[in-house]
Amino acid sequence: MSRIAVYPGSFDPVTNGHLDVIDRAKAIFDRVIVGIATNVNKAGLFAPEERAALLRSVLPADPGIEIDVFSGLLVDYAKRRRANVIVRGLRAVADFEYEFQLALMNRRLLPDVDTIFLMTDERNFYVSSSLVKEVSVHGGDVSGFVPPAVREALDRKHGRIG
């Protein structure tokens, strides 16, 4: 039986911390589905298709990694994709309480799928997509937090390059 993991998130934009978690998950699972969650009540900086394109551009070609966009309940998506595990990245202790609640709810809704938490590298503890967007919108240098292609996409979004 193949070990399939779903790593869900908004990835708006993808950060070096996300890439670290994907790399760690790939070392554990046969297949990692990076699921870009859409939320009709929340407008992102990048459209889901743009986020998928950015992820594809920064991840090495690997048949064990798939990028997909989904909406609805994560557990329904995991079940449709026949995933055994949901992967969640943790940066710091502050993330744990919220993630723990989500994991328990998901476990209640779909008992056959476990959630595992992977810590990002300590260099990325404080990096979040929200902080990257905040720094970027004000013209700050985000090159240490995101891959070059993402930094360029942020600059284009903010009208700094054509």
- Cα separation, 149 vs 147, in Å, equals 6
Which residue ranges make up each domain of the chain?
4-126
CA distances from 32 to 51, 82, 155 (A): 17, 11, 29
Q: What is the pLDDT of residues 23-73, one digit of tens each?
A: 999 999 999 999 999 977 777 899 999 999 999 999 989 999 999 999 999
Is residue 88 flagged as an active site residue? no
Q: Confirm whether 2 is a catalytic residue.
A: no
Q: Return d(Cα 162, Cα 156) in angstroms, integer.
A: 6
Residue 42 near residue 121 (C-beta atoms within 8 A): no
Provide mean pLDDT across the span 88-100. 86
26, 88, 129, 136: the active-site residue: 129
**b/e sequence 19-46, b meaning 16+ C-beta within 10 Å:** bbbbebbbeebebbbbbbbeeeeeebbb
| Residue tagged active-site, from 51, 88, 91, 133 | 91
According to the model, what pLDDT value does residue 162 have? 59
Q: How confident is the model at residue 91 (pLDDT cuts 50, 70, 90)?
A: confident
Taking the model in full, what pTM does it have? 0.94
Q: Regarding the domain delimited by 4-126, which CATH topology (the fold level of the hierarchy) does it fall under?
A: Rossmann fold (3.40.50)
Is 129 annotated as catalytic?
Answer: yes
Q: Specify whether 18 is catalytic.
A: yes
